[in-house]
Amino acid sequence: MTALHTALTRARSAQPPGPDIPAGHQVTPWPGEPHPVPRHLDRLLRLSLGGDRLRPAASAGALHPVNTHLLLGPDNRLPPGRYAYDPVRHRLLARGTVPADAPPGAVAVLTVTARRTVSHYGHRAWPLLLLDTGHAAAALALAGAPQWCPDADVTLLAAAAGFPSDWHCAEPEHPLAAVRLTPGPADVLDRWAAYAPGGPPLPTPHTPPPVLRESWNILGSLPGTKTWRPTAAPVLPDTVLSSRRSARPPFPGVPARALLAQVLATARRAAPVPWNLLTARRPGAVPPSKGEAAPADLAVRAAGQSLLAHVGALLVAHGCPDDAPPTQVRRDHVLAGHGIGLAQAVAAHLGLASRPIGSWQHGPWGPPHIVHALALGIRNRHTEGTDRP
């Protein structure tokens, strides 16, 4: 088995993560000059990744490891160049200008700071980083981004984002996806990659432990194919995008079949991976036969999250075995995060309670090789959101 396959098997094992380590900076400390977000991108970024809410995209443990770097051409009311987005202050930090012949349009390169998630989830963190990237892309899509590339070569993405070859003592960022915010040329990433890189962010005082270095090695070696695809996002009211929350269980009521069908259809349109929809058993029902499952049966596989005994349904993405090709491991996890992100927004629009479930292990119940899931139920007075800043 390759190092990636060994790491995926371990992430899905019953082995608990080690003790927590410092999570580092909430936002990467790039030293650039701050600029207001251009007016034509203000709504998109405010409703997706920043603004008066810290970050609307769901994230494992509310650790928010995903960063956004904007590649802005000469038609974006700022000097053409690379900018780091600060989602807390809703500002762009200039990371270097480029010539006036830069490609037109605006592209976001999504990266992850692995330490934030490794700080709590240890060896289980790197698949969660892929899922979180998909969720961030879904947030941008819901706000109007038309296309995304979930599998571009990480070396190409790093060069397009202008990352240094040597991060010195700074915390590195690993690029995993690109999102078109406005129309632009097909070769936009290649053209941005031709420009000289910039400098690193400010240094960090934290020493990387072996589990963090392992995540860096995996994230830096993921292969890609550079496929641009539609974001497949439904058009929803701004009020839904700005108010959606991950609900606090219990929400045990099983939603109407027609509502669940809409949530499932959204996920299937967005992510071509296998999907299952499991519903809670009625009190006194006969236990399922082998191969069948209800949400409560899968609690032990979801890192022991007993909350699954108190939800009405579970939308499950699965089908990526431990020994899958590296391109599939990356693609399935990022796409599953994207599909669950869009499905959760539709669930909110339909008035349902929902909560993404990210960390999955092997076990006897349910479909094999679970990648991601969304708990669903009927909203009640106990389901106030839990991901507020």
Q: What is residue 50's predicted lDDT score, i.e. its pLDDT?
A: 86
* Domain at 366, CATH number: 3.40.109.10
pLDDT digits (tens, 9 = 90+) for 330-357: 999 999 999 999 999 999 999 999 999 9
Query: How is the beta sheet containing 229-230 ordered, strand by strand?
Result: 34-36, 91-97, 81-86, 66-72, 106-112, 174-180, 147-149, 229-230
Q: Do 270 and 335 touch, CB atoms closer than 8 A?
A: yes
Q: Do 138 and 57 touch, CB atoms closer than 8 A?
A: yes
337 and 262 both lie in a single domain: yes
C-alpha–C-alpha distance, residues 201 and 369, integer Å: 37
Has residue 239 been placed in a domain? no
Has residue 289 been placed in a domain? yes
Q: What is residue 385's predicted lDDT score, i.e. its pLDDT?
A: 54
210 and 259 both lie in a single domain: no
Has residue 261 been placed in a domain? yes
Residue 27 buriedness (CB in 10 A; 0-12 / 13-18 / 19+): middle
Has residue 238 been placed in a domain? no
Supply φ then ψ for residue 210, to 5 degrees.
-55, -40
Q: What DSSP string describes 193-244?
A: HTSPP-------SPPPPHHHHHHHHHHTT-------EE-------HHHHHH-
Has residue 55 been placed in a domain? yes
> Distance of CA 17 to CAs 3, 13, 32, Å?
18, 10, 36
3-state helix, strand, coil in the chain (%, to 5): 35, 20, 50
Has residue 386 been placed in a domain? no
217 and 330 both lie in a single domain: no
33 and 122 both lie in a single domain: yes
Query: How is the beta sheet containing 352-357 ordered, strand by strand?
Result: 275-279, 313-318, 370-378, 352-357
Q: How many distinct structural domains can be found in the chain?
A: 2
The tokens of 318 are what?
A: 């699965």
Q: What is residue 387's predicted lDDT score, i.e. its pLDDT?
A: 46
The tokens of 145 are what?
A: 């981004």
The tokens of 159 are what?
A: 């060069």
374 and 276 both lie in a single domain: yes
The CB-side HSE value for 125 (13 A sphere, CA atoms) comes to: 32
Last residue of a domain, one of 230, 263, 292: 230
pTM, 2 dp:
0.95
215 and 288 both lie in a single domain: no
CA 57 to chain centre: 8
C-alpha–C-alpha distance, residues 383 and 348, integer Å: 12
Has residue 96 been placed in a domain? yes
7 and 125 both lie in a single domain: yes
Encode 131-164 in three state secondary structure.
HHHHHHHHHHHHCCCCEEECCCCHHHHHHHCCCC
Last residue of a domain, one of 165, 195, 230: 230
Q: Do 119 and 22 touch, CB atoms closer than 8 A?
A: yes
Q: What is residue 57's predicted lDDT score, i.e. its pLDDT?
A: 85
Domain that holds residue 52: 3-230
Last residue of a domain, one of 207, 230, 253: 230
Has residue 304 been placed in a domain? yes
113 and 71 both lie in a single domain: yes
184 and 304 both lie in a single domain: no
130 and 279 both lie in a single domain: no
20 and 66 both lie in a single domain: yes
Which amino acid is present at 239? T
Residue 52 buriedness (CB in 10 A; 0-12 / 13-18 / 19+): exposed
- Following CA atoms 57, 235, 383, 17 in sequence, which dihedral angle do they give, to the nearest 10 degrees? -30
172 and 61 both lie in a single domain: yes
Spell out, as residue ranges, where the chain has pLDDT lower than 70: 1, 51-56, 282-292, 382-389
Encode 303-334 in three state secondary structure.
CCCHHHHHECEEEEEECCCCCCCHHHHHHHHH
